[in-house]
Structure 1
Amino acid sequence: MRLEAITWERLAGELARHADGLSAADGGPWLALGIDGAPAARTGESAERLARELRLLGRAVLVVSTEGFLRPASLRFEYGKRDPDAYLDGWYDTGALWREVFGPLEAGGTGRVLPDLWDPVTDRATRTPYHRLPEGGVVVVHGPFLLGHWFPFALGVHLRLSPGALRRRTEEPERWTLPAFARYEDEVAPADRADVVVRADDPSHPAWSGLPGSR
C-alpha cells in the first residue's frame, strides 16, 4: 500500500469533506464514522479534529469513545486483569454499542444516541443523558478493535502502528495488551477493512493511503 505524507489537520479536513458527501449505507439520515486504533495511536485526538471540521461544514456531530462502553469489571476481569484475549474479545460491550449508538441511526431510527454507558473508574452506569442528533448529524466513534464487528461505518479509518511503534508508544503497565493487537492484526486485518489507512508511527509525521477510490 502506497502512503503519502500528510498533516493531521489536513487529514481531518480531507476526511470531513469526503464524509460530507456520503450517504448512510441503509439510507438513513445520519452518518456513523469510525476511527480505529490502539490507545497509543490517540484515536480521540483524530476524532475530535474530524468533528471540528465537520462542524465547520454545518454538521451536528457527536464523538463517542468506546471507553464509555466497557463492560462491568466483574465481566472484564473474569480471567484476570491482564488477559489479552479477554481484552480483545470481552472488554467492550459491542451489544450496547449496537443498541445505543448504531441502532438509533438506522433508517427509521430516532437519532437518540447514548454518548456513554459505563464508568470504568467507579464501575457504575454513567447516567449520561441521551443526545438527539438532527437529521444530517454525524456520530464519530473511536477506539480499538472497531473494524472487527461489522459496525455500519460510512467511512472507517484505521490508525496503523507498526509492532515496534506500538510497543514504544504503549506505556509499560499497558504492554500486556500487545498480544491482543497482534491477534487483531492477524484475524481482522484492519488495514484491509478500513476505507482509509493512516500510518501513525511518528505522531509528528503521519502518512495516509488517500481517500477511497484514489488508490
Structure 2
Amino acid sequence: MDIRAGGISRDETRTNLVKVAAQLLHEQGAAAVTTRAVAQAAGVQAPTIYRLFGDKDELLDAVAEHVFAVYVADKALTRDSGDPVADLRAGWDTHLGFGLANAALFGLLTDPGRSTRSPAAAAGLEVLRARVHRVAAIGRLRVAERRAVELIHAAGTGAVLTLLAMAPQDRELDLADAMYDAVMQTILTDAPALAEDGTTAAAVAFRTVVPKLPMLTDAERALLSEWLDRATHL
C-alpha cells in the first residue's frame, strides 16, 4: 500500500520518518522532535505521522527502539576476548560512551514507562546477562548472576545519568570508573581458588552448568538449582 506519490510504501515511509526523527533527536534534543519538524525534514505531510505512529510519543518510542536496537546488535556481535572479566569492563565502557553520545535518547531509554516495554532494552539486558554468565562460569562471581546483573545495570544507568546532568566541560569520567570499581569489588572474587568466599563462587559457577547436566531429570535439575540458589543467597 502506497501512502504518497512516487510509489514509496508505508513501511519505507515509516522507516524514513524514524531515521529523520533520530537525527533531529541526536543533533537538537527531544524538544526539536515535533511532528511538524519531522514531517518537513522527511518531505511528508504532518497527518502522515499521525497515521503511522498515532502521536509524537509513539514516534519517539520508535526512534528509541530503532537506535538502541542497532547499538545492541553491534554489542551482541562483539567477539569475546577470552577474558570474561575484561569483556565485562569493555561492555561498561561501551555503554558509557553510548549514553554520553546520545543524551536525549538515553533519557528516553531510561524512562521506566518506555524501557519496560522495549524489546531492544530487553535484548541489551540479555547481552549483559550473557557476559555475567561467562564470569560466573570461571568462578569469579561472589554473588548470584541475577544480583550481579542488577548491580551493574543500576550502576551503569546511574553513572551515565549523573554525568549527563553535568555540563560537558565539568564531567569527571573517573566518577564512572570509581562506580565500576565499587561494583566489581562487590561482585567479583580476586581469584577462584584464593578468595575468602570461594564456596559461594564455586556454587555460582556450578549453577551455570546445572541446565546442561543430561544425567539428571528436569525435577532433579530444578532441585539442585534451588539448593545452589540458597547457597548464593538469592
Q: TM-score range by the shorter chain?
A: under 0.3
Question: What is the TM-score normalised by the length of structure 1?
Answer: 0.24
Question: What is the TM-score normalised by the length of structure 2?
Answer: 0.23
Indicate the structure (1 or 2) with the bigger Cα radius of gyration: 2
Higher strand share: 1
Higher relative contact order, structure no. (Cα contacts within 8 Å, ≥ 6 residues apart)? 1
